[in-house]
Amino acid sequence: MKKLTALCLVLSLAGFLANSCFSQNEAFHIELLRAKTGAVLAFSGMKHSFTVSIVSDSISATDAPNYLTVHNQILQVSCVAIPNGSDLSGYNRDQQKTTLDSYADYELEYFQKDLKITIKNLKKEWVVIQNRLYLMWQYDVPIQKLEKLKGQELQEQITGQIFLSAILHDQILDINTPLFSKNNKEKARKLLEDLASSLQTYDKQLDIPALAKTLE
């Protein structure tokens, strides 16, 4: 992560990514699988799994786990473990809203107090995609320069961040992307919504090699 210091100051979650989940929570094996229309990001656990599809002819991995670039747009898809391994899949909409709102507030506090990020113009919005509730939250930051990412020069100016967060059993699915000075916010929003729309969930462990063959 040291190679992505500037990026992580904007993108980092509070240390509870899929690769370091609480011991009580389900752990996921993550694979980026190439497909005819782009790629599929597969998260395979022992009891639950899910995939999201990325439609693009320009997708590349980075040096950091869960980070991709899609047409030079940086994208992070990750799972954040819910404390104590609690499965919240039975929560109603009001309970989900309370949990997701608290999660976003916790992350925002972490960004500001620990990472010393100045956050402006915070906006929160509830959206339902494929009958799943998401919290879309975004904010602006003072302009920052982005350092090299896997040998690629990305010197556009970061002006903000946009997130989509939802509950998946004992995890929070978090999809996010930075906003750049040349970005259209609606374009970034559509990228996240398209990924959320492609979400497929499974109550089993995924056979990754078999899935990869179906995508050839």
Q: Where is pLDDT greater, at 132 or 58?
A: 132
Highest mean pLDDT among 85-94, 151-160, 174-183: 85-94
pLDDT score of 131: 95
Average pLDDT value for residue range 127-148: 83
pLDDT tens digits for 73-102? 889 998 888 887 788 999 999 999 999 999
pLDDT score of 183: 63
Residue 200 has pLDDT above 90, yes or no: yes
pLDDT score of 86: 83
pLDDT score of 5: 34
> In this structure, which amino acid lies at residue 126?
W
Residue 150 has pLDDT above 50, yes or no: no
Architecture of domain 2-214: 3-Layer(aba) Sandwich (3.40)
Residue 60 has pLDDT above 90, yes or no: no
121: left (phi over 0), alpha (psi -120 to 50) or beta: left
pLDDT tens digits for 13-59? 443 333 333 346 788 888 889 999 999 999 999 999 999 999 988 88
Q: What percentage of residues in the chain have a pLDDT greater than 70?
A: 81
pLDDT score of 18: 34
Average pLDDT value for residue range 163-169: 95
What is the pTM (predicted TM-score) of this model? 0.83
Indicate the range of 28-32, 61-65, 124-128, 147-151 predicted with least confidence: 147-151
Q: Where are the domains of the chain?
A: 2-214
Report how far residue 190's alpha carbon sits from residue 128's, in angstroms, rounded to the nearest whole number: 14
Mean residue pLDDT of the chain comes to: 82
